């Protein structure tokens, strides 16, 4: 075995000694024992590999990724055959509800209550799509996670910013609705925001519209620019604490 | 796998998977999506894995497959035959020089390595995987892994040398003088 062959093999050998017992490297290693130049090369190569590996391990995942993974997995545990999944029944039922809501919305004019009902159905039907948040939205979501004041009256969102960040966007009766997911006290909350001109009817007080359907609670309110709906499966008391 | 073990699994592997994804996808957003998708696949299919010692390999294989699926491989993959032959002499980049470089700059150099070489190189450096495990994850022969590691290291050293030159300290302008 010449130098070239020995180096070729030893470049695939991990520097930490994990391959110490691998016979593939035995002959090449034996060469390094006989040849000081080759041994020096191997030591230098291993030092370089260790340094490079340590440097690359300094790269940290974006904040929020772990929580997003955990939230996403909860929606996917205990998989069933598709035809056994209650979600398919729920989807069929909810499509009907959303269709009804849309027709009612178009017939009777816009209201924050319609937005709340739509948000509630969206969370119930598309639970898998509420699995966390894009990394670009982490900073935005943190505003809602970290604030201690009630959300109504203290929210500032910008539609252009939400579009730029790739916020999840829905279409309700032809109107653009943004969804921002954030976590507080171990529970996920989902804030839906839409142009207030399209949802101008209804009270500004979030407590007035707090309702619960099954395991999901919702409420809605509005300010000068946006109508908001807030939904969670953490229960009505958890929702009440945010408004 | 039991539900309570899942958070532990995520804790153990999500950072390593993210780094592998970052080297493949070259941007943080796609890397995060790939990492999430990998655990989603685990949550739905991982329970069928009987051999607990294969979890790490399973996760990296899944992420790699998801990466391939997320794009049209044929359009972007550089054929190994098209790549320039390996340099006879691998540039001698000093270990101290790499130690002084910023981690993102080193990652950036790794991301510029040709994809066919970058995949095994990333698994070698970032995950401390053996050439056998790398061959299994990438579904390529052992000899190919060794060849790509050797050539990939050469390319990476070239790129690091270039980055180091480009990153040399520029003299600070004198006080009161605008550059």
pLDDT tens string A83-139: 334 444 455 455 555 555 555 555 444 678 888 887 887 777 665 555 556 667 777
- For residues B112 and B174, is the Cβ–Cβ distance under 8 A? no
Q: Between chains, do B19 and A9 touch, taking CB under 8 Å as contact?
A: no
- For residues A91 and A121, is the Cβ–Cβ distance under 8 A? no
Contacts of A52 in chain B (CB under 8 A): 98, 106, 125, 156
- pLDDT < 70 regions, chain B: 1-4, 46-52, 71-93, 167-179
Instruction: Give the residue among A201, A187, A176 at the shortest CA–CA distance from A231.
Output: A187
- For residues B66 and B34, is the Cβ–Cβ distance under 8 A? yes
> CA distances (Å), A182 to each of A22, A121, A144, A147, A238, in order?
49, 18, 7, 11, 13
Angstrom distance (rounded) from CA A141 to CA A53: 33
* Residue-wise pLDDT tens digits, B41-79: 887 776 666 666 778 888 999 998 888 887 654 444 444
Chain B closest-CA separation from residue A243 CA (Å): 31
Contacts of B125 in chain A (CB under 8 A): 49, 52-53, 56
Give B 47-76 residues with CB within 8 A of chain A: none
- Percent of chain A past pLDDT 90, that is, above it, reads 4
Chain A closest-CA separation from residue B156 CA (Å): 10
Residue A1 burial (C-beta neighbours within 10 Å; 0-12, 13-18, 19+): exposed
Cα torsion A45, A47, A48, A53: sign: positive
What values do phi and psi take at A169, rounded to 5? Answer: -125, 135
Q: Between chains, do B128 and A12 touch, taking CB under 8 Å as contact?
A: no
Instruction: Give the residue among A188, A242, A180, A214 at the shortest CA–CA distance from A75.
Output: A188
- Statement: the pTM of the whole predicted model exceeds 0.95: no
Angstrom distance (rounded) from CA A66 to CA A109: 42
Q: Between chains, do B126 and A18 touch, taking CB under 8 Å as contact?
A: no
């Amino acid at each position: 075995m010449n130098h070239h062959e020995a180096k070729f093999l030893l470049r695939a050998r991990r520097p930490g000694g994990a391959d110490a017992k691998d016979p593939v490297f035995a002959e090449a290693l034996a060469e390094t024992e006989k040849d000081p130049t080759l041994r020096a090369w191997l030591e230098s190569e291993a030092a370089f590999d260790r340094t490079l590996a340590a440097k690359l391990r300094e790269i940290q995942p974006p904040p929020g990724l772990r929580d997003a993974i955990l939230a996403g997995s909860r929606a996917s545990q205990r998989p069933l055959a598709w035809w056994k999944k209650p979600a398919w029944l729920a989807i069929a039922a909810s499509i009907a509800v959303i269709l009804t809501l849309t027709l009612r919305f178009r017939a009777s004019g816009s209201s924050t209550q319609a937005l709340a009902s739509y948000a509630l159905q969206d969370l119930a039907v598309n639970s898998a799509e509420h699995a966390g948040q894009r990394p670009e939205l982490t900073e935005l979501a943190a505003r809602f996670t970290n604030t201690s004041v009630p959300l109504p009256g203290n929210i500032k969102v910008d539609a252009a910013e939400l579009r730029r960040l790739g916020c999840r966007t829905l279409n309700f009766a032809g109107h653009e609705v943004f969804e921002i997911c954030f976590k507080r006290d171990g529970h996920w909350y989902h804030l839906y925001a839409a142009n207030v001109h399209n949802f101008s009817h209804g009270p500004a007080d979030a407590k007035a519209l707090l309702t619960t359907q099954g395991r999901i609670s919702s409420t809605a309110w509005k300010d000068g620019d946006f109508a908001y709906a807030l939904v969670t499966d953490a229960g009505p008391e958890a929702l009440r604490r945010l408004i | 796998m039991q539900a309570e073990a899942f958070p532990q699994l995520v804790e153990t592997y999500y950072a390593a998977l993210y780094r592998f994804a970052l080297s493949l996808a070259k941007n943080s957003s796609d890397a995060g999506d790939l990492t999430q998708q990998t655990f989603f696949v685990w949550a739905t299919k991982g329970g069928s894995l009987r051999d607990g010692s294969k979890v790490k390999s399973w996760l990296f294989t899944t992420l790699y497959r998801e990466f391939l699926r997320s794009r049209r491989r044929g359009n972007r993959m550089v054929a190994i035959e098209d790549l320039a032959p390996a340099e006879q002499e691998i540039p001698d980049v000093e270990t101290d020089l790499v130690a002084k470089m910023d981690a993102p700059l080193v990652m950036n150099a790794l991301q510029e390595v040709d994809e066919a070489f970058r995949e095994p190189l990333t698994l070698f450096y970032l995950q401390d995987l053996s050439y056998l495990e790398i061959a299994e994850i990438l579904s390529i022969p052992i000899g190919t892994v060794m060849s790509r590691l050797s050539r990939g290291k050469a390319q990476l050293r070239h790129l690091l040398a270039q980055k180091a030159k480009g990153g040399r300290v520029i003299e600070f302008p004198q006080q009161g003088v605008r550059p």
